[in-house]
A = this chain, B = another copy of it.
Amino acid sequence: MRSRRLDYSESTRSALVDGAVELFTKRGYAGTSLDEIAKRARVTKGALYHHFSGKQALFEAAFEAVESLVYDRLDKIVNGPGSPWDRARGGLSAFIKSCLDPAYQRIAIHEAPVVMGWERWREAEERCSFGLVRAAIQALIQAGEIAAVPVDITARLLFGALSSAATEIAGSADPKKVGAEVEGVIVQLLERLRATSPNPAGEEQAAS
């Protein structure tokens, strides 16, 4: 029998995280005060510090909340049915779409490396959306769909490129159009990577 207290506790916790996501998205990490977040969740700072060890910890909770949504969506596609090529293309499209979410963009992409520190951010991303991008590239190479580029490096380049482009897309007058253009350029590059050089077995997956 699930305790009543646990329900309450979990409810306030998620209310805090929700408020954090909302405010961090709107005003950024530095621009939002803990009192404000607590107020939005109709509690005081005492409750906040009961659930989280500090502002950073609350941010990381918000980060995970935002990240998990994107991860679930991408995971279904990248590790779903279909050919490696189709899954990669679907994942690409879905990732660009996800990047248009203001919360994901500001919290997970822009502020997280600064707030959490790049090292910790990278570690977290490795288990999330970046990991999926990486896996998709690896799959493409192993299936012989594209040339045997170094996986780690290429994944980092692609992830950085898309993250950066995401802001450009979101900030443009016609996001849908610019998004399609971005996808077009990436696909064109991938096409050219597979045009030549058959590559039945993936060798040279790079170190690092």
A interface residues, Cβ below 8 angstroms from B: 28-30, 110-111, 113-114, 118-119, 122, 147, 149-150, 152-154, 156-165, 167-168, 171-173, 178, 181-182, 184-186, 188-189, 192-193, 195-196, 206, 208
- CA distance in complex: A168, B113 (Å): 13
- CA distance in complex: A131, B23 (Å): 33
B178 touches A153 (CB 8 A): yes
B160 touches A164 (CB 8 A): yes
- CA distance in complex: A123, B159 (Å): 23
Closest chain B residue, CB of each to CB of A163: B160
| Copies assembled | 2
- CA distance in complex: A161, B164 (Å): 8
Q: A122, A192, A195 — which one has the most chain B CB atoms within 10 A of its CB? A: A192
Task: Decide: A149 near B110, CB < 8 A? Known: A168-B156, A172-B208, A208-B172.
Answer: no
- CA distance in complex: A206, B30 (Å): 36
Task: Decide: A181 near B30, CB < 8 A? Known: A118-B110, A160-B163, A161-B158.
Answer: no
B172 touches A165 (CB 8 A): no
Interface of A is mostly: helix
- CA distance in complex: A11, B159 (Å): 42
A168 cross-chain contacts in B, Cβ below 8 A: 152-153, 156, 208
B192 touches A165 (CB 8 A): no
Q: A147, A153, A188 — which one has the most chain B CB atoms within 10 A of its CB? A: A153
A118 cross-chain contacts in B, Cβ below 8 A: 110, 167, 171
A157 touches B153 (CB 8 A): no
B149 touches A188 (CB 8 A): yes
- CA distance in complex: A186, B189 (Å): 11
B160 touches A165 (CB 8 A): yes
- CA distance in complex: A196, B193 (Å): 12
Closest chain B residue, CB of each to CB of A117: B28
Partner of A185, one of B30, B154, B171, B172: B154
A162 cross-chain contacts in B, Cβ below 8 A: 157, 160
